[in-house]
A = this chain, B = another copy of it.
Amino acid sequence: MADTGWPGCAKSLKGVILDLCGVLYDSGEGDGVAISGSVEAVKRLKASDLQLRFCTNETQATREKFVAKLRRLGFDISVSEVFPPAPAAISVLKQRGLRPHLLVHEGLLPEFDGVDKTDPNCVIIGDAAEHFSYQNLNEAFRVLIGLEKPVLFSLGQGRYYKETDGLKLDVGVYMKALEYACDLKAEVIGKPSPTFFQSVLNDMGLKPHQALMIGDDLVNDVGGAQFCGMKGVQVRTGKYRPSDERHPTVIADGTADNLAQAVDVILSQRGH
């Protein structure tokens, strides 16, 4: 019988999904900085027989600009391997005939160039950072409160993330703010939404038990992947906090000091 625990389960894996910010690099001034050993770790995974995809809640830039930044940091990654929330959101808009009011980072706006935004009948919020001004949040609120059936999409639901100069509030905080203001429940597009993880598995042609998610966010990366039937490993970089290892509901299948160590364990289990 196959070993289903960590690290033994690594023997039967067919694919690995990596979170980006906090696992491959820390964001901050300019491009941010690669986390020690992570460039080499990605290279080793790519050279192995495992499929590799990148699943991120990054919404501050288009996929093209985001991947260009990762390449400047030294990572050999292509656009088709990266799954962020905005393209998934655009699919949902098309399916449901919705026209969004956008409260997102200006770097993400070009993703929505071809989308009809006249007379909006929903609101999409992303990690808008400094654009989360009182005025902009109030504007999104007024659109929602004016709709007969208000629909709010949140590109992720993170609490905060770590930049080189400290912790920063993430989109989930503003999602909760608008949920309370309008007495509604947002629809999350991105991690930990099961639909979002499933789209990555579909792209690899794998079943959940054949894939492992590695992330720094215990709830959204590890818990979200586990909810879909994948294994989830947390790295002690990025937004990791020691209290994560005593979390009341989410228990990672494994924990590693960083991506390099996690990849070491996986590949040595597979006899590399």
A169 at the interface (CB under 8 A from B): yes
| Minimal Cβ-Cβ distance residue in B for A131 | B134
What residues on B are CB-neighbors of A137 within 8 Å? 132, 169, 173
Contact of B129 with A141 in the complex, beta carbons under 8 Å: no
Candidate in A138, A172, A180 with the most chain B CB atoms within 10 angstroms: A180
What is the bound-complex CA distance between A87 and B43, given in angstroms?
61
Q: Would you call the interface of chain A mostly helix, strand, loop, or mixed?
A: helix
What residues on B are CB-neighbors of A166 within 8 Å? 142
A83 at the interface (CB under 8 A from B): no
Given contacts A132-B134, A134-B169, A138-B168, 18 further A-B contacts (CB under 8 A): A129-B134, A130-B135, A131-B134, A132-B137, A137-B173, A138-B167, A138-B169, A141-B167, A141-B169, A142-B166, A142-B167, A159-B181, A159-B182, A172-B180, A172-B181, A173-B178, A173-B181, A176-B177
19 A-B residue pairings within 8 Å (CB atoms): A129-B134, A131-B134, A132-B134, A132-B137, A133-B133, A138-B169, A141-B160, A141-B167, A141-B173, A142-B166, A142-B167, A145-B167, A159-B182, A160-B181, A173-B177, A176-B176, A176-B177, A176-B179, A176-B180
Interface of A toward B, CB cutoff 8 Å = 128-135, 137-138, 141-142, 145, 159-160, 166-169, 172-174, 176-183
| Minimal Cβ-Cβ distance residue in B for A132 | B134
| Minimal Cβ-Cβ distance residue in B for A135 | B130
CB distance from A138 to the nearest CB of B (A): 5
Contact of A173 with B180 in the complex, beta carbons under 8 Å: yes
What 6 A-B pairs come out closest when comparing CB atoms?
Answer: A176-B180, A177-B177, A132-B134, A173-B177, A173-B181, A130-B134
CB distance from A155 to the nearest CB of B (A): 16
What is the bound-complex CA distance between A168 and B137, given in angstroms?
10
CB distance from A181 to the nearest CB of B (A): 5
CB distance from A232 to the nearest CB of B (A): 20
What residues on B are CB-neighbors of A169 within 8 Å? 134, 137-138, 141, 177, 181
What is the bound-complex CA distance between A130 and B166, given in angstroms?
24
What residues on B are CB-neighbors of A130 within 8 Å? 133-135
